[in-house]
Amino acid sequence: MSNAASSTLWPAGPRRVLVVGIDGVRLDLLPELHTPHLDALAAEGFLAPVEVDEVTPTMSGPCWATITTGVGVAKHGVLGNHLGGHRLDVFPEFTTRLAAVHRRRTFAVGGWEPLFLARSGGPLFAAPGRLSYIAPLADTPEAWEVCDARVTAEAEYVLRDSEDDPQASFVYLGAVDETAHFLGCGAQYRASIETADRHLGRLLAAVKARPTYAEEQWTVIVVTDHGHVDQGGHGGRSELERTAWIAATGPEVSGPQSRPLHHTDVAAHVYRALEITPDPHWTLDGQPFN
């Protein structure tokens, strides 16, 4: 499903932001895996650990809400994978806020229902300029891999060829997390992370294939929400579950970070990358990257 950007939107400038959310990727396994696209992005900018704070459940709903709104659970009110009771009308995620307040073209795509549909208390992404929900055909690791491939294809089209021309985009890939839940963090989980890296490569290639790419300034952020225990699963407070990470490159990113990063920093940096000064009434909890 999608709704086209209005002709009254703010004129597109050179700044663009792509945020790729890959659910449930363990930081400790990345050095063992073949992830050339993530490695190259980190070499251009940084890849840094993030600890899910003690008041945030290590679950996808709360973590993705924190990542995309720039505020913690005390403000956005998402405490589980059922998003009911949220305050996203007051603290919207960045694609909705940018579309509503700053009239920017925005885009969000993925296959996990609470993020994109009015189900399980959702959606998290309430009103981006273009919204695409691509349902997995079954709740299996294989079906989620197909879903992620379709999500990537949709994002390639929107980023490279469509007239929507989003200035800020969020692409959600869920197969890694689903594989861990079904099969644990063994060989198939590791292969799923490598597949997600290939999807990232396709997205980066789509950006670079834009006819106007040479005149644009792109910030790319890749982020995971939580880790997994070895047998698969999360929600507890073990180091494996509460360790996440952020990688980024772009004109406002200056290499290794001099301070610990937080999930709330992602949305804060999206605004910085688009040269937008947040309204103090937004009460963001995060800060832009160095």
Residues in the chain: 290
For the chain, helix (H) and strand (E) counts, in that order, are 10, 7
Q: Regarding the domain delimited by 22-282, which CATH topology (the fold level of the hierarchy) does it fall under?
A: Alkaline Phosphatase, subunit A (3.40.720)
Measured distance CA(71)–CA(66) in Å, rounded: 5
Instruction: Report domain extents, the chain.
Output: 22-282
Digit-by-digit pLDDT tens for the chain (290 residues) are: 344 333 455 556 799 999 999 999 999 999 999 999 999 999 999 999 999 999 999 999 999 999 999 999 999 999 999 999 999 999 999 999 999 988 899 999 999 999 999 999 999 999 999 999 999 999 999 999 999 999 999 999 999 988 889 999 999 999 999 999 999 999 999 999 999 999 999 999 999 999 999 999 999 999 999 999 999 999 999 999 999 999 999 998 988 999 999 999 999 999 999 999 999 999 999 999 98
What order of strands is seen across the sheet that includes strand 168-173? 46-51, 243-249, 217-224, 15-22, 168-173, 106-110, 130-133
pTM value is: 0.95
